[in-house]
Amino acid sequence: MDLPGTTNWFVPDLAVVPQDLAKGAGALLPDQTLLAVEVTSDSNGDTDRIVKRRRYAEYGAPLYLLVDRQQRACTLYSVPGSLGYTKVDGPHPFGTPLALPEPFGLELDTSTF
């Protein structure tokens, strides 16, 4: 994902986008996604927890799901703003179902994480 006005590019572990953008030829902007997902590793955990969370919010990604393998928890961030996400659901221990709001309207089973 491109972050206009910066030299940064983020490659999320998973990005859910509208079907009409799925076959695009270029980089997407965070506000074009429906959901951005990052899965932490020992080498990038703080980047996913702090930097990417702040930047995805700043650039309007509506939902950011952090799957934190070190803390064994999932957190869903929503309602982005220039100062970060204003709504936080979690952290929830792995195994706890996590409700994804519309346009998904489903419960994510985290028992196999």
What length does the chain have? 113
For residue range 46-97, list pLDDT tens digits in order.
Answer: 999 999 999 999 999 999 999 999 999 999 999 999 889 999 999 999 999 9
d(CA 80, CA 84): 6
Map out the domains of the chain as residue ranges. 14-108
- pLDDT averaged over every residue in the chain: 92
Contact between 77 and 52 (Cβ < 8 Å): no
Report whether pLDDT(24) > 70. no
Q: Percentage helix, strand, coil, to 5, in the chain?
A: 20, 35, 45
**Structure confidence at residue 25 (pLDDT):** 61
Using 50, 70 and 90 to split pLDDT, how confident is the model at 8? confident
Q: Provide the whole-model pTM.
A: 0.92
